Structure 1
Amino acid sequence: MAVREAAGTSELPVVRDKAEAGPADEVAEDAGRHSPRKQAAGSVPATDETAPHEASDSAAAASKTAKSAKKEKAPKPPKAPKTARAPKFHAPRSKKPFIIAAAVVVAVLLGGVGVAAGTYAAEMWGGKTIPEVVGLTKDEAIAKLGEKGFVAEVAEVKSDEAAGTVLSASPNGGTRADEGSTIALEVATPRVIPAVAGLSQQEATDALTAEGFTAVEMTQQKSNEAAGTVLAVSPEAGTQALSGDTVTLTVAVPFTVPEVAGLGRDDAVAALEAEGYSVNAQRYYTEDVAEGTAVGTDPEAGTELNSGSEVTLLIAKSRANELVELTKSILPGAILKTDEASYKVESVESVSYRGDNEVSYKVVARQFEVVDLPFGLGQKTYYDKETSVVEGGIVWDDNNKVSYANPAITY
């Protein structure tokens, strides 16, 4: 079929595929649909008979043109120069959405905290609460801890509290710990007087202090045990007592020879025997102390000496008095011989001590003479009718024997 060419034109309008057409093309297409086409002058209007053929040819031409347009794209129009833009004004946004969101978050958190607190209080997590057991008995505390799933470890501690009373718990009651944890309990046990007899004073004191006793007193008792040895304790060992109760230690002190100088003989002997000593009394010659007075002892006073030992007691004895008395006892009836005559002492007038065991005396004596009788008839003694006073002297030895006499003495 021959196709007419429109007067004044040699090209058909380009028809693009919608898929390739851009936004501008779509706008142009829409505009063409809504506005009547302008026909060139001298063109023949399409009839019903020619319209389909023209449309077909036009579509083919348009398809070719579209394909050609794909290969050769139209150049982009130059960009318009940038111009300064006026600052944009933004209306203030409402805070209400944020407040609502925050409130929701807080509510969720609080709800979570409440749940956590509730489950914690119910001991669903975070361990179990250790019960308060201080002041209970040991058995009560063990049972109470066992009910919560805890294990008790008991240590005995000396105390004035009733035996078996729980003094402390570690960890403390009211705190939390994992179920099955060990709770250390300190349980009261009574203080007991320790056996300290035979120990030194320091050792005994340390033992009592370790037991907690604070009122320890000492008494002394003379003994043959070593000085400072504890002889006894009161209350006796094994007795239960409180820390403030008085505990008395009896501590050994040595026997010592007492001071007896200046005492009479009997009193001095009694004092020594009271210490358990046996007494050996001996005279001690001196002119400085009254005769019969204790001068001292051997060993001397203050010497440590076990009871039962012997002590020599020295009793003052006047040598002067002794020799005077001794002289007086031998003179009566004695025969005094001088170079001139012999005398028989009838009485003693006086005796005095000169020192160094020497005494002098004065006696009343009757001179006499012994005459041999004739014919073997023996001897006869003739005494003067008058008495005479004779003076003399005697030297005594340490054994109280006459070592020298003038006049000589015989019997």
Structure 2
Amino acid sequence: MSNLAAVFAVFLRLGLTSFGGPIAHLGYFRDEFVERRRWIGDRTYGELVALCQFLPGPASSQVGFAIGLRRAGLAGAVAAFAAFTLPSAVLMVWAANGIGAVTGPVATGVVDGLKVVAVAVVAHAVWGMVRSLAPDRPRGTIAITAAVGVALVGGPFAQLGAIALGALAGILWLGEGSSDSDDAADADALPSASTRVGVTALVILTGLLVASPIAARVTGDGSLALFDAFLRSGVLVFGGGHVVLPLLESAVVGPGWVDAGTFLAGYGAAQALPGPLFAFSAYLGALASVGPGGVAGAMIALVAIFLPGFLLLLGALPVWAVVRRWSRARGLVRGASAAVVGILGAALYDPVFTTSVTRVDQFALALVCFGLLTLWRCPAWVVVILGAGVGATTAALING
């Protein structure tokens, strides 16, 4: 199998099985690409997560895009995005037609079981990243400080602040002399884009941000208006996931393109689906009263909301490739990566644990799934099936 075909196949499977939102997705990615396939090193993976957290857009999808870029070039990046997003996007269009609602106690039990699996997946990722990205006293302290700060303050800007402070602490504390034995190997694994590609990506994004609102207003074309609304939502969101919801509500409910009840119903359906929450835009594009609607409207909304984050990543990679070679940048990278571990640790508690584990049987299932991942090294998709089955069985017994 070629690299491109392998990228598409693996991300398609992840798109079908990665439940639990963006933080859980990072756990699934680490399990698949760092632990099992070794397509990328743990330190480089931590770097990518930190970089994508800094950029606007869907952080987990940007990480997936970067991994596809590393494995099979720009075609691999597009394949990773398409494969990871396609299942949830198709299901959201299905939901827009009134077919995809999740109803009944057993269906609810399946969703509850999948949420518990997400707890185990994120815990597994945090456990592994602590050992590689925060193995000593300085980096462990940075990770704990980041976790405490994010847990107490909350919000995407707290995450950005934690990474920035972690990077600063790394420069001041870890210094130039720190070294790790596998830095050289991991440096080769860093996804790259040429300066020409990076500049072109930023020029395209700037041009779109300037031209799309003007074109939509001058022509009065509904498709252009729809593209512009979702483009602006994609470029303004930091942290991805649920942070985009108020922006989307303002973009489509505010002008009356989608009513509030329909918006909330789609959001509820999105919680039960694998893959990126940004796929919710496909539902909104399919139902919007402007633009072509249906599948065409869904495609316009999807492309528009994901495009800014991917173009910004292509623009940032050449700059980061230069900056990371500076002697003091080594400390910056280690400090920022340790802060990422702390952020994931805080997210493991809230929202992952607090919204998924409310009963003792769910806690027991989370422990079993964690043991399967860490001790028995079961593939994540096997644990997903187990969690869904246990959740459905439990719901049937409770409501039987």
Structure with the bigger percentage of strand: 1
Please say which structure displays the higher CA radius of gyration: 1
Short-chain TM bin: under 0.3
Structure with the bigger RCO (C-alpha within 8 Å, sep 6+) is 2
